[in-house]
Structures are given as C-alpha cells and as structure tokens.
Structure 1
C-alpha cells in the first residue's frame, strides 16, 4: 500500500524538505506519496509546522500521527481538533547546534572574552579567569537538549547542576527538582542556562524572586523560550548588577521589536533565534523513521504528553 504523507508547512519549508524527505522515505523502505494537497480522508501522516494553514485536524480521520518539524509544540498541543498522536522533533542536528551555542556562549562569559575582543582603549587587562571547575552552572531543563548541553559542559569540568519540574536521573549530573530544588540550583549558579519547554508552569521561571537568589554578577543564557524569563525583572536585575550579562536567543515576540530595551542594554546580547535549528537532512530521517515505526506497529518516538504540554 502506498502511504499518503501530507506536508503541511510553508513554501520555504517545502523547498527545503521535499527532496531530503522523499529520499529519507525511500531509504526507510516506505512506499509513500509526499504531497502538499490531498483529500484529508486519504492522509496517513501529517508533517507539520504551526505556519501551516492546516489547523483543523478533524477531517483527517485516517491519519495515524502528526509529526512536527519543530521541537516546541506549544502552538499545537492545545488544539481541540487534534486527536491524533503528536510527535515533536528531536533532531540530532538540532541538538548538536544547541550544544555548540550553549558551550560557546558559556565559554565566552567564563573566559571574559569580551574584554579582549572589544578593547578600543587598548587596555592591558591581565585578569585571569577561574578554572571551569570553579564556575558552577545551573541547567534549567533536563530534556534531550538540556541533558546534551549539561554533559558537554560537564566534560569541560564545569560543575553542572540540572533542574527540572519532575525528578530526573542523568549519569554524572546531579539533578534537582521542584521549587526547593530550583532555589538551591540558582543560589550557587554563576551561569544559568534555560532550556525548559514553554508551559503555564514554566512561564516566568526567572522572575523577581528567583533572580534575587543568584550570586551577584551571574550570567543568564536563554536559548529555550522567551516566556521563561520575566523581561522587566531581568532588566531590573541587570541594571542593579545582580545579573552581570544576559545572552538571549528567544523572545516573547519575534523578531524582537526595534524599540525593545534589550537591543540597547550594554549587558544584553541578542542573537536572532539561531541557537539551534532543525536540519532538513537529519530531521527527514527522524520523520521517516517514525512513519516506519508506525507502519510496523512499533511505538512512536518523541510522543507528546498532552497533559504536560510537551
């Protein structure tokens, strides 16, 4: 039987994914028609991004799964018409990119690179940074991405403490959970990395109260979700010197409005949501692999828990 796979995403996504996804489906041994237009009653799988015009999933009565090209699913998980299984994207290429961004910016702040890279006054400033083992890091979020970043930083001898809302066990990384665990992790962290999903429970995880727990001059790296941080509380903490610098890749509104205070703040670095991106060649293999599993009657990978929102 030939499967019908509906590609419900933008024109730009189609131009990027059509060839590698067809190749991945062939490589997986699947007889499949990849299309952007099909009778909903004949669709077996949907490859999806929130930019798609497909927002009503009720007509897709034969669909076995909706396979997101995005790691974040907050814009679809609450759709009341979505009764099909939903799988988020866990792409090896995306994970590698996130690890590189987090490690790069952690090292930038740990080593104090800005003093020497931007030195218009030609100041001889022989300040020796501490060793990595003397620079505690809190990793907020110990999912696929947080765990990969925690392990990479730990391999460089940073003492990394993981935190998540529910208990997690990761070899070699001490993990805390719950509100008391969050307070403990933040109170000792000189660098904080936020890689939590966006849910009602995680919004404003870093706020007036929790930012006050940080050691003076702590650095925040946010490649996770803009809503994890209370913007006004962060700006106040930066102005007061409680937070030494914030490197932010994600924002509540994107692109970040030109009049937003983050652009002009001397202790803020804005990067344009580039910490990690889905790579078409590797993501296509993830999609094809999950379709093959479904056809074979195997459990889907990266299945979203609707109750938890990710």
Structure 2
C-alpha cells in the first residue's frame, strides 16, 4: 500500500511518522512532482498538478473540516473525497462559540473597557430569553455547538438544508424556513459548508432579518460573509457586534476595515484546529475499512459540496 501526503502549509514530518507508525509495511511519503502513483492520499489544499498526476488514487483524505478548496480542483475520476468526521474539532468549536456568545451576552467587553479606564460599575443583567441563538448548519460541528449552547439555557434555533431533530433545538429546514429562522434569532452562528449556494449568504438582506441588536459569529468560511454589508449594519446599529474567525483573504489584509473596529473581535482562523494524532487514527481506520470493502463515514457528495 502506498500513501502520499500533500498538505500545503503543514509540517509534513510528524504526519509522515505518525502514518508510518500506524500502518506498518505501508509506503508513506511526501508527494513530489512526478512521484509514483499512490493508493491513498492525505491532502490539504493540494495543487492541480497533484490531482492530474495521481489520477488512480482511491481516496483523498482531507485533513480540515471544509472541502471547498478541494472541490474547486479537477479531481481523479474514481477517487472518494473523505472528510474528517470530527478529530477533536467539534469540542474546540463548541468552546470557541460558547465563549463568543457568553462574552457578548454578559457584556464582558464593556467590563474590560471599564477596568482599563479605572471605572467600577455594573450593567443590568440581560435575559437569556431575549437572546435566541441561531446555529446555521447542523453537521457534526454545528450539532455539537447547538447542544453546548443549549446547556446555558439560551433559546436555540437550528437551520439546515434538510430536517434535523436535536434535543433542545428548535429546528428549521430548507429555503422555505430560512427567513423564519433568521427572524427568530438575535445571535447568528455560521457553520455552513461553503458551496456556490451558500457563498455570500450573510449579507444585507439576511443579516437585516435578525432581531434588532443582532450578533454575528462566523467560524465557517470568509466567503459566506459580505464584509461591506456587515460594516453597514454595524454602523446602523441593527447588528451590535461580531466575532469573526475566517476571512475572504487570509491573513486579513492590513488595510481591512475589520482591523481596529470597536465592535468586531478577530481571531486568525483558529476556532477549531486539526489534531494530528486523532486525525491519523481516523484516517488509518478508514483506510482499513476501505481495504476490507466496508462502508465509511465522511464521504463527500461533490454535487452538494459537503
């Protein structure tokens, strides 16, 4: 069995060592142009040349949660595209989103400003019932986030392309219920996959349908958000603030209006990082199942984009 590794901006050696240790006897190597044909590939943002040269690969294991960059390439015709089911990312995402929601709800940014200015003051407690949270996208990560937020007794709304039933979550599904979902939410958490249908989904119209004083948390992809529309809604007061972890261009350009905005919190695409050991164990398990002819979870439907 030959496994090739082609992951942009990723230190290869620990992955190669981990895969080799977990698959004794396998030929594990980093891809170079002209390399021999592999049976399986572990990838992140590979070049088109890789796809063209590895036309016979059986499966491409994507080490990040999103597969949008991969699906923009011409893929080997018979290769399965396999995403990680979780590999430690769901709990990280739940931590991040819960922190962002609670920081806003409890007005900790205001208390932080007060203490820096030497002021000792209180704010009137807010009611959780006034802060319904809408989780947009209820896959593995979205469901974990929705369940975590429900533990803090906020009203939780969830929207997905097809109906989902999650305890403690008011479910909305399909295009016909999308506007109702937005209108029932004050905080919007985006966990959608990026597809042609979801690009620019957070825009003047959709964000304008949130309850007044809305709050936006984007942890999916920068191309989901129309930057100028968010800035306009912040200026109007309809949106009170935002926590953004992903951006159309990364790193965020130095002259971007998000830098230094008093009501936007920025983080450098770090809401949920790939955990190498857990990812390797999952990939190895799936390679074994495929070799035995068994079904595996996480196969991407290229037509849907996830």
With the shorter chain as reference, the TM-score category is over 0.9
Given candidates 98, 105, 108, the residue that maps to 1:113 is 108
CA change 1:53–1:229 in 2 (3 A) is: closer
Is 2:128 the counterpart of 1:136?
no
Q: Which moved more, 1:299-308 or 1:84-93?
A: 84-93
1:89 positional shift: 2.1
Structure 1 match to 2:70: 76
Structure 2 match to 1:6: 4
Structure 2 match to 1:63: 57
- Counterparts of 1:133 and 1:260 in 2: how far apart (Å)? 35
- Counterparts of 1:92 and 1:56 in 2: how far apart (Å)? 25
- SS of the counterpart of 1:220? strand
Contact 2:83 2:298 in 1 (8 A): yes
CA change 1:11–1:34 in 2 (3 A) is: farther
Name the TM-score, length of structure 1 as normaliser.
Answer: 0.91
Matches within 5 A, 1:255-294: 255-294=251-290
1:59 positional shift: 4.1
1:61 positional shift: 5.0
Structure 2 match to 1:25: 23
Is 2:82 the counterpart of 1:87?
yes
- Counterparts of 1:292 and 1:245 in 2: how far apart (Å)? 47
CA change 1:285–1:21 in 2 (3 A) is: same
- Counterparts of 2:149 and 2:165 in 1: how far apart (Å)? 17
Ranges in structure 2 where 5+ consecutive residues have no aligned partner? none
Is 2:240 the counterpart of 1:250?
no
Contact 2:16 2:30 in 1 (8 A): no
- SS of the counterpart of 2:232? helix
Ranges in structure 1 where 5+ consecutive residues have no aligned partner? none
1:229 positional shift: 1.3
- SS of the counterpart of 1:198? coil
1:257 positional shift: 0.3
Given candidates 174, 179, 197, the residue that maps to 1:178 is 174
1:152 positional shift: 0.4
Superposed CA deviations along residues 173-194 of structure 1, whole A, max 9, x for unmatched, are 2211223422112212221100
- Counterparts of 1:36 and 1:301 in 2: how far apart (Å)? 25
